[in-house]
Amino acid sequence: MKKIPSFKYLFGIADVIVLYVCFLFSAYILRINPNISLFDFITQSFSMSVAFFLLALTFIVIFQYNGLYRVNILITRAAHLAQILKAFYYGALSVILISLLIENYAFFNSKLLIFVFVLTSVPSLYIIRIELLRILFIQFSNTRFKRNVIIIGDGKSGKMLATKLMYENPIGLNILGFIDDEKEINEEIVIGKRIIGHTHHLKDMIEYYNVNELIVAVNYDDIERTLQLIDYCKSLNVNVRVSSEIFDVVTRTMETEKYFDVPVIDVSSRYNNSFTIAMKRSFDITISAFALIFFSPLMLIISFLIKISSPGPIFFIQKRIGKLGKEFKFYKFRSMVVLEGEDDYRKKEMINFIKDENNELKTKIINGDRVTWIGKLIRRTSMDELPQLLNVLKGDMSLVGPRPCLPYEYEIYDKWQKRRVTVVPGCTGVWQVWGRSSVSFKESVLLDLYYINNMSPWFDLQLMFQTIPAILSARGAK
């Protein structure tokens, strides 16, 4: 389980309290009976109070999604306020839904709830978060909120971070020194910061110095070597972040935490346990079953249009690679004209795409001449993917995860690329939301590995919600 820095608990607890109180206060102001006391109002509407508390917790998820617990946001007044306003924009829908659910209560006018809530909560959060907790965090950054950090490798970003912290340190990082197997102990990397050991010393150093976080800042050409180093760091029960040019695609395509404008990627072990896997599977079954029922009329129409558009089957069935390299039957709506020998051409082109060392090929391997008129529509809107809900229901796939590859693709994967099959493949994922057809194969695998390292129920929900605008905009679809 990931160790969450203490200051994030402080901000999170304060947010829940402020939001919950603002919900109750807003409802009390709007009460229909002016003679009822606050105590009686709360006790007589216990279920409403519980709903408000759950809604406050929902806002915490929205805050997390909008980066309101990232250290670079917390210490910057303007960015902090901007993210609060952005979070309330997304949270407004939740407030509307709750107000509709409790509309029948005779305690207050729910129509005005969202207006009064925003009017009271935004100023309250500004005062508590920005003018109080932010200042306290900066003041206590080197005492109560101090985090002892070791930088592994002497990469450019690690040197830059260590140098900046010498002159200013409002984020509570105490850089103890560097670890580098290729340099001598006590060799100076930047002024005042030296090599304090080698990789095999890490376990003892973490205990001796009470290390809270490791920053991997290596720039090895060998990606597998880098990933093995990250795996070893994660096994040491501390937070692990990566600041390396290898993972540039992650920082380029999505928002990550920053230490002094230096992007860092969180790869700490999180929730990949049995309970989370069971929860993910239950969610997959529930949503896929509901979606199959809901979209069944649309699927029938698409099936009819495919049948009249060109000769051939309705479904495109193909062998794909699932978790741990196990093959399964993969379903899609057929969107192309059936043509003998065309798969051999695509296989050759796909192998070239995977082996492209210069990252020049950044597009799907598609023969546009084969796509039928209905195929163009369903591919553009990703409706050709709807039959994969059957794969989800069967357990071959999940709603969220890395895309399943073809057997011949898997055979030519490098060792590090095969890490993407350590989890159940998904219908959507990081690549579909932020990469689509605009990244190289190598970058798409790195995005999948980022997902695997950060897999959680909240991250899955975020990706599912962000898949919708990606589909509607048809970004990268072919």
Residue 165 reports pLDDT greater than 50: yes
8 A C-beta contact, residue 213 and residue 241: yes
Structure confidence at residue 91 (pLDDT): 80
pLDDT at position 342: 59
Give yes or no for a contact between 121 and 18, defined as CB atoms under 8 angstroms apart.
Answer: yes
Average pLDDT, the chain: 84
Q: Write out pLDDT tens, residues 101-110.
A: 555 554 445 5
Q: What pLDDT, on a 0 to 100 scale, did the predictor assign at position 107?
A: 46
Output 434 or 270, whichever has higher pLDDT. Answer: 434
Alpha-carbon span 114 to 26, nearest angstrom: 8
* Domains of the chain from N-terminus onward: 6-139 (no CATH), 147-266 (3.40.50.720), 274-472 (no CATH)
For residues 196-202, give the mean pLDDT. Answer: 92
State which of 129-143, 215-229, 382-396, 428-442 shows the largest mean pLDDT.
382-396
pLDDT tops 60 at residue 92: yes
β-sheet bridge partners, residue 371:
336
Report how far residue 74's alpha carbon sits from residue 129's, in angstroms, rounded to the nearest whole number: 8
Closest among 226, 160, 140 to 416, alpha carbons compared:
226
Provide the pLDDT for residue 368: 67
Q: What is the pLDDT of residue 244?
A: 85
115 or 4: which carries more pLDDT confidence? 115
Q: Which amino acid is present at 278?
A: A
**Residue 357: pLDDT band with limits 50, 70, 90:** low
Three-class DSSP category at 102: coil
Q: DSSP E strands: which ranges in 180-230?
A: 188-190, 193-197, 213-216
The alpha helices in 426-474, defined as continuous H runs, are 430, 441-453, 457-472
Please report, in angstroms and rounded to a whole number, the separation of the first and last CA atoms in the chain.
40
The arithmetic mean of pLDDT across residues 142-164, rounded, is 85
The vertex-417 CA angle with 416 and 418, nearest 5°, equals 90
Q: What is the pLDDT of residue 364?
A: 58
Burial class of residue 104, CB neighbours in 10 A (0-12, 13-18, 19+): exposed
DSSP β-ladder status, 327-333 and 315-321: antiparallel
Q: Give the whole-number percent of the chain exceeding pLDDT 90.
A: 41
- Give pLDDT, residue 358: 58
Q: How far apart are CA 55 and CA 46, in angstroms?
A: 14
Q: Sorting pLDDT into bands at 50, 70 and 90, what band is 161?
A: confident
SS3 state of residue 426: strand
Greatest mean pLDDT among 23-27, 180-184, 300-304? 300-304
Give the bridge partners for 316, in sequence order. 332
Confidence of residue 237 (pLDDT cuts 50, 70, 90): confident
> Are 164 and 223 a contacting pair, CB within 8 Å?
no
Three-state SS sequence of 105-160: CCCECHHHHHHHHHHHHHHHHHHHHHHHHHHHHHHCCCCCCCEEEEEECCCHHHHH
Paired strand residues for 39: none
Q: Given a cut of 80, is residue 422 above it in pLDDT?
A: yes
The DSSP letter of residue 402 is P
Task: Say which range, 233-237, 380-384, 430-434, has the weakest mean pLDDT.
Answer: 430-434
- What pLDDT does residue 111 have? 63
Other CB atoms within 10 A of residue 266 CB = 17
Sign of CA dihedral 332, 336, 338, 344: negative
Q: Supply the pLDDT for residue 456.
A: 80
Q: Which of 185, 161, 186 is nearest to 175 (CA)?
A: 161
For every residue of 25-47, DSSP letters joined together read HHHHHTBS-TTS-HHHHHHHTHH
pLDDT given at position 249: 86
**pLDDT top residue among 14 and 472:** 14
Is 240:234 a contact under the CB 8 Å cutoff?
yes
Query: Is 199 exposed, middle or buried, given 0-12, 13-18 or 19+ CB atoms closer than 10 A?
Result: middle
For 373, other C-beta atoms within 10 Å of its C-beta total 10
Task: Output the pTM of the full model.
Answer: 0.81
Asked if 233 and 202 count as a contact pair (C-beta separation under 8 A), the reply is yes
Write out pLDDT tens, residues 37-83. Answer: 777 777 777 777 888 888 888 899 889 888 899 988 998 889 899 99
| pLDDT, average across residues 13-30 | 90
* Amino acid at the residue 345: Y
- Residue 272's nearest CA partner among 446, 404, 414, 460 is 460
